[in-house]
Amino acid sequence: MFSLSRPHFPLGDYYQLLLKNGLLSDSAPLHADLTREVRLVSCDSQTVVPGTLFICKGAAFKPQYLLDAAEKGAFVYVSERRWPECALPCILVSDIRRSMALLADRAWNHPSGRLHITGITGTKGKTTTAYFLKSMLDEWRRSQGKRESAILSTMITDDGVERRPAKLTTPEPLDLQRHLWNAAECGAEYLTMEVSSQALKYHRTGGVEFSVGVFLNIGEDHISPVEHPDFEDYFASKLMIFRQSAAACVNLDSDFAERILTAAESCSKIYTFSTKFSTADIYASEIRRDGDATRFLVRTPRYTRELSMGLPGSFNVENALAAVAAAEALGVPESAVAAGLAEATVPGRMETFNTPDGKLTVIVDYAHNGMSLEALLSSVRREFPGRQLTVLFGCTGGKGLDRREGMGQAAGRWADRIILTEDDPGPEEVPDICADIGGYIAPFGKTWTVIPDREEAVERAILEAHTPAVVVLAGKGAEQQQKRKNGPEPCVPDSLLARRALKHYDP
Ligand SMILES: CC(=O)N[C@H]1[C@@H](OP(=O)(O)OP(=O)(O)OC[C@H]2O[C@@H](n3ccc(=O)[nH]c3=O)[C@H](O)[C@@H]2O)O[C@H](CO)[C@@H](O)[C@@H]1O[C@H](C)C(=O)N[C@@H](C)C(=O)N[C@H](CCC(=O)O)C(=O)O
Ligand SMILES: Nc1ncnc2c1ncn2[C@@H]1O[C@H](COP(=O)(O)OP(=O)(O)OP(=O)(O)O)[C@@H](O)[C@H]1O
């Protein structure tokens, strides 16, 4: 049994916290009752109750929200500017994002102090690594008769109390701290979470203690007017994870590994992992595909043994090693590491479907930028020699425009047959996006077919393949929505489309 009622703190505690962290930008005394208990800290006027400390923030913020909050019983507000239309006392701060994170951490009584949290950052592999680690932790916990660990990932939010599809990879501070509180209260003890560069840049994880911070890799992505202005901003944001981590896990095979290691020096312990450098603390060798399993030998400071996993793709060994490294830092027993990895599945990541005659393999995968499609196709080429390789994909519209170049080049380099289709076109037209991608395929001397309707495209990709063949359906993974001009609209997931088409397969 657990109680979900949490303590409440007087306004003075919150005020002192901002003062101590140098966030107050007004030295004038605050005309508010500092002894009054804050019943809720909120940035959403729709949730306000009497006794709320209201946070004014956001590009879409309107002063009317503050007036609504005051009417519902908010008694003080925190903001980077005063709002003269509101008579409530104002705590003026210099940085609303940092302030909000610290206030949220306080409001939920610093729940990360009661959990072992692993934060995972990197351009690619965060979700997969988080699922691997959760599977290992849960093996261990089940063997002790304990409840499952919690996870906050792009795929799912499961804090032991709330379980639903995630809105963001890393939640905003007030949501994040509530999830951490839930996890701590229900006895999850361990929590694995993805930490996006956006979250670090905007201090969403401010105040959180990570037992382990994992840095997987870095590549060009998320550089756009609405995300990061340039690669340096993106990289520097990700490196911030180590400032709040006790132990660091660093991939020596990543680009810029030296710089990542230097940033990790702020942590009290560093675990390096690699498939290339035998000097790494966690080192994998003898990597091979054996039937439906990927096997490799791993050496850690505590043991040397063979590990296996169901997920194909040599890049998944990197993710597995990251999880093994985090498990090492957390003291997860060897047997739970091995069993957890062997059993782990990740929806929409390298989901594989084979025809009974074994001549046609369809792979559904979430690769949706150049780095991931390159890793995916090069790995499939190695693992399925001598087969025709078809790739089907599209690119998102209105953002991430550089993905067209990276994905086009990866397809041009590796595929025999290329089908371009819809993938979250947003405000753009699918044929226009495909034409852009085609411009990056052409220099490789390859041709491509544009089939805007994804259902038709998948069917033709599969049924018109020349066996022995592999058909890769990239980009959407387990997603069930297409983001179009009018917003998200439901769509059939690729795995279901693949199963449907395979029913009509005629060898
Ligand atoms: C809608 C939007 O663009 N939101 C972004 C923005 O938040 P914001 O604070 O400016 O949001 P806002 O909607 O303008 O805020 C309005 C405020 O008014 C309040 N309100 C609203 C209505 C009302 O009646 N009353 C009221 O009080 C709202 O509760 C809110 O507090 O600033 C935040 C800074 O943390 C961003 O995270 C957040 O990202 C949106 C949600 C988003 O989709 N971001 C993406 C890019 C993102 O973060 N992605 C990463 C993954 C990508 C990666 O791997 O790097 C992620 O972690 O998910
Ligand atoms: N270590 C890796 N290196 C390169 N590509 C990878 C790696 N791991 C996974 N991928 C590719 O990236 C895709 C997304 O993987 P995953 O969801 O685990 O990463 P992520 O970091 O959570 O991604 P995103 O930030 O896009 O949500 C996979 O479907 C696969 O194609």
- Measured from CB, residues less than 6 Å from any atom of ligand 1 are 43-46, 57-61, 65, 168-170, 172, 196-199, 202, 204, 222, 227
Q: Say whether both 259 and 193 belong to one domain.
A: yes
- Please state the rounded mean pLDDT for residues 476-505: 95
- 398 and 336 co-located in one domain: no
Report, as an integer, the average pLDDT of 45-63. 97
Same domain, 221 and 335: yes
Mean pLDDT, residues 372-397 taken together: 95
Q: Is residue 472, in this structure, part of any structural domain at all? A: yes
Q: Decide if pLDDT at 193 tops 60.
A: yes
Does 165 reside within a domain? Answer: yes
Domain end point (choices 107, 123, 141): 107
Same domain, 25 and 168: no
CA 101 to chain centre: 19
Q: Is 287 helix (H, G, I), strand (E, B) or coil?
A: strand
Distances (CA, A) of 118 to 99, 135, 194, 214, 273: 23, 13, 8, 7, 16
User: Ligand 2 within 6 A of 367 CB?
Assistant: yes
Alpha helices in 265-345 (DSSP H): 315-330, 334-343
pLDDT digits (tens, 9 = 90+) for 64-102: 999 999 999 999 999 999 999 999 999 999 999 999 999
- Measured in degrees and rounded to the nearest 5, phi and psi for residue 89 equal -60, 145
**Residue 1 covered by a domain:** no
pLDDT at 147: 96
Task: Report how far residue 192's alpha carbon sits from residue 320's, in angstroms, rounded to the nearest whole number.
Answer: 14
Q: pLDDT class for 221, splitting at 50, 70, 90?
A: confident
- pLDDT (average), residues 185-189: 97
User: At residue 26, what are phi and psi to the nearest 5 degrees?
Assistant: -140, 120
Rounding to the nearest 10 degrees, give the CA dihedral for residues 296, 297, 298, 299: -160
Looking at all shown ligands, the one closest to residue 126's CA atom is 2
Q: According to the 3-state scheme, what is the secondary structure of 164-203?
A: EECCCCCCCHHHHHHHHHHHHHCCCCEEEEECCHHHHHCC
Question: 158 lies in a domain?
Answer: yes
Whether residue 313 is found in the same domain as residue 185: yes
Shortest-distance ligand to the CA of residue 98: 1
Tell me, yes or no, whether 249 lies in a domain: yes
Pocket test of ligand 2: the residue of 366, 391, 396 to mutate, having most ligand atoms within 8 Å of its CB, is 366
Same domain, 469 and 379: yes
Q: In angstroms, rounded to a whole number, what is the distance separating the alpha carbons of residues 438 and 448? A: 7
Confirm whether pTM is higher than 0.80: yes
Residue nearest to atom 15 of ligand 2 (CA): 125
Q: Diameter of the chain by CA atoms?
A: 81
CATH code: domain of residue 490: 3.90.190.20
What would the 3-class secondary structure string for 102-153 be?
HHHHHHCCCHHHHCEEEEEECCCCHHHHHHHHHHHHHHHHHHCCCCCCEEEC
Tell me the mean pLDDT in the region 379-396: 95
Give, using CA atoms, the residue closest to atom 30 of ligand 2: 367
Give the mean pLDDT of 391-413: 94
305 contacts: CB under 8 Å, gap ≥ 6: 297, 298, 334, 338
DSSP state of 30: P
Name the residue range of residue 94's domain. 9-107
Q: What is the CATH number of the domain that holds 177?
A: 3.40.1190.10
Residue 43 confidence (pLDDT) above 90: yes
Same-domain pairing of 402 and 307? no
Q: What is the number of structural domains in the chain? A: 3
**How much of the chain, in percent, has pLDDT values that exceed 70?**
99
Q: What would you report as the CA-atom Rg of the chain, rounded to the nearest whole angstrom?
A: 25
Residue range 33-55: mean pLDDT, rounded: 97
pLDDT tens digits, 446-487: 999 999 999 999 999 999 999 999 999 999 999 999 999 999
Same domain, 328 and 362: no
Q: Are residues 265 and 133 in the same domain?
A: yes
Averaged pLDDT of the chain: 95
Give 375's pLDDT tier (boundaries 50, 70, 90): very high
**419 and 335 share one domain:** no
Tell me if residue 55 falls in helix, strand or coil.
strand
The CA 138 to ligand 2 mean position distance, Å, reads 22
259-279 per-position pLDDT tens digit: 999 999 999 999 999 999 999
Nearest-angstrom CA–CA distance, 44 and 287: 50
In a domain, 378, yes or no: yes
- Answer yes or no: is 145 within a domain: yes
Ligand nearest to the CA of 128: 2
pLDDT at 312: 86
- At which residue do the structure tokens 């670090």 appear? 200
Q: Could you read off the pLDDT of 134-176 as tens digits, one per residue?
A: 999 999 999 999 999 999 999 999 999 999 999 999 999 999 9
Given a cut of 60, whether residue 2 has pLDDT beyond it is: no
Q: 258 and 163, same structural domain?
A: yes
For residue 89, what is the enclosing H or E element? none
Q: What is the mean pLDDT of residues 227-231?
A: 86
One domain, residues 223 and 326: yes
Cβ neighbours of 507 (radius 10 Å): 8
Residue 328 has pLDDT above 50, yes or no: yes
The CATH number given to whatever domain includes residue 44 is 3.40.1390.10
Domain boundary among 107, 138, 170: 107
Q: How confident is the model at residue 4 (pLDDT cuts 50, 70, 90)?
A: low
Candidate of 372, 402, 407 to mutate for ligand 2, largest count of ligand atoms within 8 Å of Cβ: 372
The answer to whether residue 1 scores a pLDDT higher than 70 is no
Question: CB burial class (10 A; 0-12, 13-18, 19+) of residue 71?
Answer: exposed
| Of 287, 235, 282, residue with least CA distance to 257 | 235
- Dist. CA 401 → ligand 1 center (Å): 21
* ipTM value for the complex: 0.95
For residues 349 and 379, is the Cβ–Cβ distance under 8 A?
Answer: no
For residue 396, tell me if it sits in a domain: yes
Last residue of a domain, one of 56, 75, 107: 107
In the chain, the percentage of residues whose pLDDT exceeds 90 is 90
- Assigned token pair, 418: 């290329």
For residues 104-132, give the mean pLDDT.
97
